[in-house]
């Protein structure tokens, strides 16, 4: 048996130790709990736990899943010009945020392509926190430093100070509520509050990357183990309906079902926000920002290709990088392809020329030399009942 | 630890071979299924196809990965495990039983002698995971 393909940046090998990789504060716990550790963009992370990816995925949809996302980067922007500065570097409108609100946005190039996608948290009018992808944290930090101008700001890469733990799923609120006096029901989607969880001061944010309701808790890195263990206890992790620790493979299938883009796969510095269907985070009328002119002219001319969702209609599983074939022509490629454990279908995202981007369009995927039928479908593939 | 039955022969590509007269039954090992994760799809050849030793005969896919499966010995396919089309998870739950993949009529039964014994395979997987 030899690996032909591995989804994403991980390398599958049952490696006992990998000293050159970066570790989150929960590394020892992942190993204790039987997590299969892989190299994920330079981080030693669990791709799955003994329950397996499918069970982890399903449990998150039906009950709750717990994810270590401490590898994500955090960059602090403080000072009177914090909002002005971040608004100039990102595509969404930071001036629309109120204290305690978070926003999905992107760091853009002058061409309107993507340095990274990120969350912008407004802690106060003079204090923003940027939460960026793990493997791009250093690149983002360099980009941000090199693009500062005369604005009055302090910049700090505080990634190592924080742990970030995501509790996702329909039971997330009731589980987390056992550990905090914060009125969690009052925190709206994409809002956050400061407070204590099990006595640990941090930020509790109603955000996530699974398509479920849920929270992300930012806390001091040295309290990560305490929070992780207490949440597992509160969520009765040892029962069939309890919270289940989840690895990166489930995180990936959950976000894909929810139609969310993955940086490095679906978006990168060769794809514009408009091509990626992220026009909703391009506030072209907010004033100037990096890439605004390029995006405005692309919007006026219309995009030539588009990121679409598809469902495989024949036997076979589409995978990242495989080619899309329409009428015998190779017209695009798959950026994310995987089985969807909850939907029990094989789905994916792909770039195709805009003339073929309509829902219902029949396409084929070149699965290692075999053409497999698929159909463009609307995204998200999965939407939770609210 | 991975289960390695005494009475089978093993390849360094993590396939097992069970000899049955002049035929051989082939699947992937417990170690292999464990490193692969949840198996969701198995692609197998058709009966009648001929394979040389160490030729790929199919593929096995988990949620996150695709792997080719090789036959360690030459032969013609006399049967495939049809039930894997609907129950690919048998490869995880019972890799040496319900998870078998193909049955070959061996072209050269002597090839089995060049494969690893259970003890040798166990040492091999230990070395590989270090």
**CA distance to A97, A244, A386, per residue, from A120 (Å):** 9, 28, 25
CB distance A338–B64 less than 8 Å?
A: yes
Rounded to the nearest angstrom, the minimum Cα separation between B127 and chain A is 11
Which strands, in side-by-side order, build the sheet including A101-108?
A101-108, A114-124, A127-132, A73-78, A154-157
pLDDT digits (tens, 9 = 90+) for A131-185: 999 999 999 999 999 999 999 999 999 999 999 999 999 999 999 999 999 999 9
Q: Determine the Cα–Cα distance for residues A82 and A153; give it in Å rounded to an integer.
A: 6
**What's residue A2's pLDDT?**
72
- Nearest chain A CA: its distance from B38 CA (Å): 6
Q: Are the beta carbons of B37 and A48 separated by less than 8 Å?
A: yes
pLDDT in tens, chain A (386 residues): 677 655 443 334 434 444 589 999 999 999 999 999 999 989 999 999 999 999 999 999 999 999 999 999 999 999 999 999 999 999 999 999 999 999 999 999 999 999 999 999 999 999 999 999 999 999 999 999 999 999 999 999 999 999 999 999 999 999 999 999 999 999 999 999 999 999 999 999 999 999 999 999 999 999 999 999 999 999 999 999 999 999 999 999 999 999 999 999 999 999 999 999 999 999 999 999 999 999 999 999 999 999 999 999 999 999 999 999 999 999 999 999 999 999 999 999 999 999 999 999 999 999 999 999 999 999 999 999 87
Q: Reading across the β-sheet that carries A36-40, which strands appear in turn?
A: A10-11, A36-40, A43-48
Which residues does chain B have within 8 Å of residue A2's beta carbon, measured at their own beta carbons? 13, 67-68, 70
Nearest Cα of chain A lies from the Cα of B97 at a distance, in angstroms, of: 18
What's the Cα-to-Cα distance from A198 to each of A176, A229, A235, A272, rounded to whole Å?
Answer: 9, 11, 14, 42
The predicted pLDDT at position A8 comes to: 42
Q: Which residues of A touch B99 (CB under 8 A)?
A: none
Model pLDDT for residues B60-115, shown as the tens digit of each residue: 999 989 999 999 999 999 999 999 999 999 999 999 999 999 999 999 999 999 99
Residues of B in contact with A16 (CB under 8 A): 129-130
Q: Cβ contact (<8 Å) for B68 and A4? A: yes
Helix, strand, coil % in chain B, rounded to nearest 5: 25, 35, 40
Q: What was the pLDDT predicted at B119?
A: 96
Chain B residue at shortest CA distance from A12: B35
Residue A32 burial by CB count (10 A; 0-12/13-18/19+): exposed, middle or buried?
Answer: exposed
The CA distance from A362 to B42, in Å, is 25
pLDDT given for residue A20 in this prediction: 86
pLDDT of residue B1: 65
Residues of B with Cβ-Cβ distance to A253 under 8 angstroms: 63
Q: Tell if the CB–CB gap between A339 and B63 is shorter than 8 Å.
A: yes
Residue A210 distance to chain B (closest CA, Å): 16
What are the beta bridge partners of residue B17?
Answer: B9, B26
């Amino acid at each position: 048996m030899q690996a032909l393909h591995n989804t994403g940046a991980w390398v599958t090998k049952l490696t006992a130790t990998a000293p050159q990789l970066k570790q989150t504060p929960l590394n020892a716990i992942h190993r204790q709990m039987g997590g299969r550790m892989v190299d994920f963009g330079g981080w030693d992370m669990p791709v799955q736990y003994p329950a397996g990816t499918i069970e982890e995925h399903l449990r998150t949809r039906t009950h709750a899943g717990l994810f270590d996302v401490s590898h994500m980067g955090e960059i602090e922007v403080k000072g009177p010009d914090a909002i002005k500065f971040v608004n100039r570097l990102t595509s969404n409108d930071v001036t629309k945020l109120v204290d305690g609100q978070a926003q999905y946005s992107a760091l853009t190039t002058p061409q309107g392509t993507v340095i990274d996608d990120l969350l912008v948290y407004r802690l106060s009018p003079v204090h923003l926190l940027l939460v960026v992808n793990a493997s791009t944290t250093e690149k983002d930090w360099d980009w941000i430093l090199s693009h500062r101008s005369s604005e009055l700001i302090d910049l700090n890469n505080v990634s190592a100070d924080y742990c970030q733990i995501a509790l996702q799923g329909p039971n997330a609120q009731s589980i987390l509520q056992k550990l905090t006096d914060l009125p969690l029901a009052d925190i709206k989607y994409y809002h956050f509050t400061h407070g204590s969880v099990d006595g640990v001061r941090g930020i509790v944010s109603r955000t996530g990357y699974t398509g479920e309701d849920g929270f992300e808790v930012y806390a001091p890195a040295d309290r990560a183990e305490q929070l992780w263990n207490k949440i597992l206890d509160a969520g009765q992790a040892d029962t069939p309906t309890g919270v289940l620790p989840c690895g990166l493979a489930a995180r990936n299938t959950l976000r894909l079902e929810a139609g969310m883009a993955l940086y490095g796969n679906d978006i990168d510095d060769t794809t514009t926000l408009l091509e990626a269907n992220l026009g909703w985070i391009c506030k072209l009328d907010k004033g100037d920002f990096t890439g605004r002119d390029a995006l405005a002219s692309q919007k006026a001319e219309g995009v030539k290709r588009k990121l679409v969702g598809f469902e495989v209609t024949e036997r076979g599983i589409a995978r990242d990088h495989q080619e899309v074939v329409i009428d015998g022509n190779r017209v695009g490629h798959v950026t994310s392809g995987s089985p969807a454990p909850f939907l029990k279908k094989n789905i994916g995202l792909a770039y195709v020329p805009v003339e073929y981007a309509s829902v219902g369009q029949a396409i084929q995927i070149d699965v290692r030399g075999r053409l497999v039928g698929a159909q463009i479908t609307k995204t998200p593939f999965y939407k939770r009942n609210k | 630890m991975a289960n390695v039955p005494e009475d089978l022969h093993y390849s360094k590509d993590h396939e097992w071979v069970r000899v049955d007269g002049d035929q051989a039954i082939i699947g992937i090992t417990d170690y292999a299924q464990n490193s692969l994760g949840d198996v969701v799809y198995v692609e197998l050849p058709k009966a009648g196809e001929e394979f040389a030793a160490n030729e790929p005969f199919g593929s096995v896919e988990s949620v996150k990965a695709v792997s080719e499966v090789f036959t360690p010995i030459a032969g013609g396919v006399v049967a495939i495990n049809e039930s894997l089309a609907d129950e690919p998870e048998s490869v995880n739950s019972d890799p040496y039983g319900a998870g078998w993949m193909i049955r070959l009529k061996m072209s050269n039964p002597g090839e089995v002698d060049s494969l690893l014994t259970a003890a040798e395979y166990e040492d091999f997987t230990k070395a590989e995971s270090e």
